[in-house]
Structure formats: structure tokens, C-alpha cells
Amino acid sequence: MDATIKLLIIAHVALGGIALLTGLLSIIAYKGKNLHKKSGKFFVYTMISSGLIAMVIALLPKHESPFLFSIGIFSTYLTLTGYRALRFKRQNISLRIDITMAWLMVVTGFLMIILPTILTLKFNIVLGVFGILGISLAIQDLKLFSKPKRLRKGWLKLHIGKIMGGYISAVTAFIVVNQFIPGIYGWLVPTLIGSVFIAYWMRRVRLGKVIN
């Protein structure tokens, strides 16, 4: 079992490292071109794989971690929904999987807020912040799913916002594990800085300066 866990941890770290590099390449690459698309796909595949492995590790004996499991769900949700947003530019698509994922994120978000408080009698700021953010994003998604025309019109904003959110998760994990920024600030600073970049790209979308 120990050998299996070590292999899973190595795979998790390796895939996370690849996600960091390919995600950065996709961000700086010219949008709409092959380099952006190919590096973006590598980011999605490696990021989701890394997140799923993290959830498996969090369920194994002596490594049980509701914290790691819930963060794995959060980062995987952002990345996967960001990638699936590319489908929304088409008409008459099935949203069954997307709706299911959104509700799963809502439930997970509530558990991220409530469970630590019940178990430790203290509010966990990190899980609370990410739980509230996850619930908010999922509810926004559910509202959009009921408005097909608006969903089709806003697919690019959804794609950019969610994929960037997934990349912020990867950067956050890298910073926290290596303790580049101490304490709770390591969890929150990447989100604050990343939000500025997301706002920048949203503005470019509104001005029509991003190639679809």
C-alpha cells in the first residue's frame, strides 16, 4: 500500500507540474491558434488527472483528508467546466452532465463550509472561502443553463474564467506545498492576483480583442 501511495503522489506531483507549464504556455500563446489549443488540452488533461489522483490519495488509509478531497473537486470542477464551455457556442447541446456537475459543486461547497465547523467547532477560512466561491460559480452556471441564448453568447467568458480559475488552483497548490508564501496568504494571494488577470481578459473579450 505504501508503494502504491508513493507512486500516486509522484504521479500527482508530475501531472501538476506539467499542468503548470502547459497552462502558462496556453495563457501566453496567441489565442485561437494551434499552440494555444494544444497546450490548453494538455493543461486540461493533466490538471484533471492530477486532481482525480489527489482525491484518491485523500481517501486512502492514513492519508484521509476531507480538505484535499474537497479542494481536488473544486479545481477539477473549474478546469472541466472551463473546457466544456467550448461546446456552448453550438446550438442544441445536452447540458445533463454540466447540470449534474454544477449541483455536485453546490453540495461540495456546503460540505466544505459546514463539516469543518461541525468537526472542529471552528470556521475554516480557506475551505470556507473556496466553498463559497464554488457555490457561487455553480449557481451562476445553473442560471445560465436555463437561458440557452445567453449561454451560447457568453461561452468565451465562461471558458476563460473557469480555465483561468483552474490554473490559479494549480499555482496555489504549488505555492502552498513549497511554502513560498507563508500561512493562509499562500492560499488567498494567488486567487486575488489571478482575479485581476481574469478581469483583464474579460475586458478584452468585451472589446472584441480575443480570437474565438
Identify the CA nearest to 109 among candidates 51, 70, 57. Answer: 70
For the chain, where are the alpha helices, taking DSSP H only?
2-28, 34-57, 66-84, 96-120, 125-145, 148-153, 155-178, 185-206
| 82-135 residue pLDDT tens | 999 999 988 888 999 999 999 999 998 998 899 888 878 888 887 888 889 899
pTM of the entire predicted model: 0.84
* Residue pair 109/132 in contact by the 8 Å Cβ criterion: yes
Gap between the Cα atoms of 5 and 109, Å rounded: 27
pLDDT in tens, 174-206: 888 778 888 888 878 888 898 898 898 888 888
Distance of CA 160 to the CA centre of its chain: 11
Of 175, 166, 155, 174, nearest in space to 194 by CA: 166
Burial class (CB in 10 A: 0-12, 13-18, 19+), 161: buried
Nearest to 168 by CA among 86, 78, 80, 55: 78
Contact 89, 51 (CB under 8 A): no
pLDDT band at 212 (very low <50, low <70, confident <90, very high): low
> Cβ distance 80 to 49 under 8 Å?
no
Residue 124 exposure: Cα atoms within 13 Å on the Cβ side: 23
